[in-house]
Amino acid sequence: MPELPDVAVYRKLLDATSLQRTIEQVSFSDSRILRGVSVRKFSDLLKGNRFERSLQHGKNLLVELSGGSPHVWLHFGMTGALHYLEKHEKEPAYTRCVFTFSGGDRLAVIDQRLLGKIGVVESPESFSREKGLGPHALGEEMNAERFIRILSGRKGMIKTALMNQSVIAGIGNIYADEILYQASIHPESDVRRLDEATLRDLHTVMKRVLRTAVEKGADAEKLPRDFLMPNRRAGTKCPRCRGSIEKIRVHGRGTYLCPRCQKRE
């Protein structure tokens, strides 16, 4: 499932290729990906308009339209992605929506399992309130003090808390595992048992892991050698202690850890 670093990569692609380009046509091969607005209304809103600027909140990409119009909302579900196509390039498989710019180049939304969403929102602020999203994990507002305040005294396991989009927006199953591995915290640790110093360190690690992943294009093979993700399989060797990586389930989600480095409290 695309998480914060993946969406940051899609945002960079959109910014580099599609801003300030006049949209001549919007087409859907499967309009089920469109939510809360009709195909006709969506197309009328975008035709002749331009993508002005983009912003990201967690796993969501919002694109402001020119002229003070609403924002386009993109959520990538489990298999969604953006792909930029020059005029004569063939559309990839599972293309669901295409924005065609003047000159013929296109921005395609791809989604094999059709769990992603495209819609229209009035503003980023109203969107965040409506969806009940917590602060963006890499946002300026997510400083150590706010992170500690959000998590302190919270019931439940730390991995579950990190993945809760109403607590912190952007972290999913894979990066929760990586963050907890790098912080040497067992994913089933009770949040209430983590002291302020541990939470402060966890905040630092969260920022570092997510920023590193964004810098490396969300490509697991390009991540540092001491990251878990390139070795995220049961039975592989821990990059640090050379112990065996173990798989457990946390609230039904497959979870990878090193039991030597991440001891249960």
Q: Which residues are catalytic?
A: 2-3, 59, 253
Taking a C-beta distance cutoff of 8 angstroms, is the pair 165, 59 a contact? yes
φ, ψ for residue 98 (rounded to 5)? -130, 130
Q: Is 173 exposed, middle or buried (0-12, 13-18, 19+ CB in 10 A)?
A: middle
Distance set, CA 114 to CA 34, 121, 141, 182 (Å): 10, 20, 32, 33
Tokens read off for 218: 């969300």
φ, ψ for residue 145 (rounded to 5)? -65, -45
Q: Across-strand partners of 50?
A: 22
Residue 10 identity (one-letter amino acid): Y
Residue 130 identity (one-letter amino acid): E
Distance set, CA 182 to CA 104, 148, 175, 177 (Å): 45, 18, 10, 9
